[in-house]
Structure 1
Amino acid sequence: MWINFDQLLDLPNVTVVNYQKIAQTIFLKLALLNETIECPNCHETLGRINQTEYNLVRDLSILGNRVYLKVPRRQFHCQKCQKYISERLSFMRLRQPQTIRYESIIYERVKNWALLNQGMNGNCASYPKVSLSLVFKNTTKEDSYLKSATPKSELEHLDCSKAITV
């Protein structure tokens, strides 16, 4: 059976170059299609890669299997402003172990869990507040850079009384 992982992933400027399936987990090695980036400081076009490191990142499941992406994180050096620039990717934040869309799914599940518990119990005084920072570890300064990120600030500490009004 032929599976086009590029279409299944539906991530911008990315192609799957290799995959491996171990038990119920699929590992996809990605390559980035864009060859240049723009320096955020001086707006110079950068095409020479200083270094590339691969990060293992959790993504949405495919065909009932957990998916981990081996994402190349490229660093460029700007000759004009003499700074090292890490490439920003629209589908993930720097130093985060999951994609934004996977994070959004977890966020929705936590929100629905709180609503379900409110409906069953009728009162949520006995339930502790669910801290979304426990789910997402730390938010980073890239939140402002990535416009498509889930608005976590609305429900940073989700308790039933707040969740019922959402």
Structure 2
Amino acid sequence: MLTFRLALKNLLGAGMRTWLNVAVLSFAYVIIIFYNGLIDGWNEQARRDSIQWEYGQGQVWHQDYDPYDPFTLQDAHGKLPEKADTENLVPVLITQGSIYPQGRMLSIQIKGIPTDQSLLELPTAALDTSSNALPALIGKRMANAAKLKQGDQVLIRWRDKNGTYDAREILIAQIFDSNVPNIDNGQV
């Protein structure tokens, strides 16, 4: 009890300086708590969006794939294992390629995904078109970088399994908007 009375007497006796310290420290603590809550909210939203748009409930990588070596993409492909749960898996074939919008060249990753998948938020149903061109989805960031819009046709080039270059016209079937840049930047 003596320490409480002594502390109260010191607070009241110090005057304006003490109340300024209390106000500044209180304001600083409120800002720190707000900032930590904001950052935690962003992290949680990024985690949720990545699961919905890119990962699903996890990823199964080919044994020859090394995420830190882009040259392994050429040989890291194969069939799903027989024991794989195909209802909860979406196979995605990834290869390197280039597109040529308006005479420019952009390096991209080409991702092949089934049109009837429902595990990821990607609007793959838009790929079910009956046109002669190969339909493709791109994100809003990729559309801005390549200066493409829905309905545009653009030349795409990739290497086939034998290492030979192949090219074909693609039709931009849909441009989607997502908060996950990993499925948007430089990907068709």
TM-score bucket of the superposed structures, by smaller chain: under 0.3
Task: Choose between structure 1 and 2: higher helix proportion.
Answer: 2
Task: Choose between structure 1 and 2: higher strand proportion.
Answer: 1
TM-score (norm 2): 0.24
